[in-house]
Amino acid sequence: MIFSPPSVTTRPRDVQVQDIGAQTFALRSRTWEQLKFEIEYAREKGTTANSYLIRAQKTALIDPPGASFTDIYLEALENCIPLHRVDYVIVQHVNPNRLATLKVLLAKATQARIICTKPAALALEQAMAEWSDRIQAVRDGDTLALGKDHDLKFAFIPTPRWADGLCTYDAGTQILYTDKLFGAHLCGDELWDIHWQSLESDRKYYFDCLHAMQAKQVEATVAKLTDYPARMYAPGHGPLIRYSLSRLTAIYTEWCQQQQQQDFKVILLYASAYGNTARAADAIAQGLIQSGIQVQSINCEHADPVDLATLIEDSDGIIIGSPTLGGHAPIQIQTALSTVLATASYRKLVGVFGSYGWSGEAIDFIERKLKDANFSFGFETLRIRFSPTEAVLKDCQAAGVTFATALQKHRKKRVFSKPLLVQKVDRTAQAMGRVIGSICVVTYRTATGHRSILTSWVSQATFTPPGIMLAIASERGLDDVLQPNTPFVLNLLQHGRTLRQHFFRDRVSNPTVIPTLSTECTEQGGLVLTESVAYLECRTQQRMLCGDRWLIYATVERGKVLDASGKTAIHYRVSGHEE
């Protein structure tokens, strides 16, 4: 049965309704045109949004389509059953597009309860607070009896992209409703995968767009679903799977394994308030995947910090995407960025992208932090105003290809340790050696002239007022700097320059006697090394003797970046016993 609204076009959108099992029907909302600009629809073969209806003693509706089909879908559904007789609406994942249909449906199906996972329930309760009492969360392994042997069993299948993922198995018909798994974006009159050989390229493209960046989790999910004795897969898009079920299950596992065996691994971190940043992330990931890069896509809103740190450390490249909310990056992105800065070697390649409405401060903030930490960028930062257009998504895909090319040229720069030295230090000292700092020269004025000393024991201590903490060896002869209210200049050296060779860690020197040294004085009389990447004018406020070090807290009165494109020199130590 085909339900079509009145239309003057030859192939209008319609809803194909067909019996697929005992008391079970497929309602396929169809379009022969490209539904959206997203990369996953780029093959322009149309798509179907598959929904399913089980009419037993209780009636369950699975996965209503998005807003593009709301009106014709509900009209077709009412031709199958009065909406007030719908008892359950099973939502296997939540997205903003689907919410539009759900709101209209719940207003008409007044007794229906929504069945979903706990993460989906939390999202729905926020979006539809007026119907929160009609939302029922289920756990992995929970069952729902509809009568007439239709006993539904739920499988919780979270992935980085769909943290609320759910599959539903009907033991009565042996149909496994797989939502985003095993689908394809193409539209046609054939309900089943009779000509499954011709579907393989579309299925692979669909996999690459939606699942390749979460291959590890998808492989585990496919293995989990083999526990259900299904004779049919009912996916969210494309033909239903009956003739190639075993092959498609096996080939999904093969594709997942192939993706995880690529030579280079990129972790793509993002958060998305309205879906715009997520669409850009998908396009970038597709460019990487097409270039033979293993991609791990992580929605930071659902990421575990411990797992995130491990993934970052294991990656060859890191790409971060963020919306701008109220002039800032979401807290989840700020946390992820902090983990990157604390965990990742600056030798890893990075990229930044994001969407914004008016200002885009979050994108600039992330880019600046990574530049300050000496990271190299694999593509020019992408700033996307409002929703990405088709042209913008193509630019994002091209950026993924550019990043892959840069990564392959960049390669991993192996840092060879000093084996004899490492053997002599204990594990605690080796761990302490991972604490890093900017290489700086402290300059200050005494009664007899300017003085300087090299140090990397510097960290930001306060935001308001801006303040830093210095750790200075008690025997270094810096009595002048140790006194409260003493002004000094902190010169941050630039990566790749040889400026540091003129200074010493173990003693104070006079920088003005070095003929090749370029300097200038501030208005307050401080000495600035003009080849530095930046400098800060500071004033000592407090000091404390801790072990063999004086801890000096100083406030920052003013500062300046001297080379905006320069990178701060970083000191990496072998052990905690090394200066």
**Tens-digit pLDDT profile for residues 567-578:** 788 776 665 555
Instruction: Quote the CA–CA distance of 528 and 536 in Å, as a whole number.
Output: 9
Instruction: Quote the CA–CA distance of 300 and 331 in Å, as a whole number.
Output: 9
Instruction: Quote the CA–CA distance of 130 and 107 in Å, as a whole number.
Output: 11
What's residue 577's pLDDT?
A: 55
Q: Report in angstroms the alpha-carbon separations of 516 from 113, 512, 530, 563.
A: 78, 10, 12, 19
From 185, 226, 188, 190, select the one nearest 202 (Cα to Cα): 185
Matching fold, domains 265-417 and 428-571: no
| 265-417 CATH | 3.40.50.360
Instruction: Quote the CA–CA distance of 385 and 547 in Å, as a whole number.
Output: 53
Task: Name the CATH topology of 14-258.
Answer: Metallo-beta-lactamase; Chain A (3.60.15)
Neighbours of 523 (CB within 10 A): 7
Domain ranges of the chain: 14-258, 265-417, 428-571
What's residue 428's pLDDT?
A: 53
The encoded tokens of residue 480 equal 């002048």
Instruction: Quote the CA–CA distance of 161 and 300 in Å, as a whole number.
Output: 10
The encoded tokens of residue 567 equal 């990178």
**pTM for the full predicted model:** 0.65
Q: Report in angstroms the alpha-carbon separations of 552 from 309, 317, 528.
A: 31, 37, 20
Instruction: Quote the CA–CA distance of 373 and 97 in Å, as a whole number.
Output: 39
Homologous superfamily of 428-571:
Electron Transport, Fmn-binding Protein; Chain A (2.30.110.10)
Residues of the chain scoring pLDDT < 50:
5-9, 412-426, 431-435
Q: What is the pLDDT of residues 462-487, one digit of tens each?
A: 878 888 888 887 666 566 666 888 89
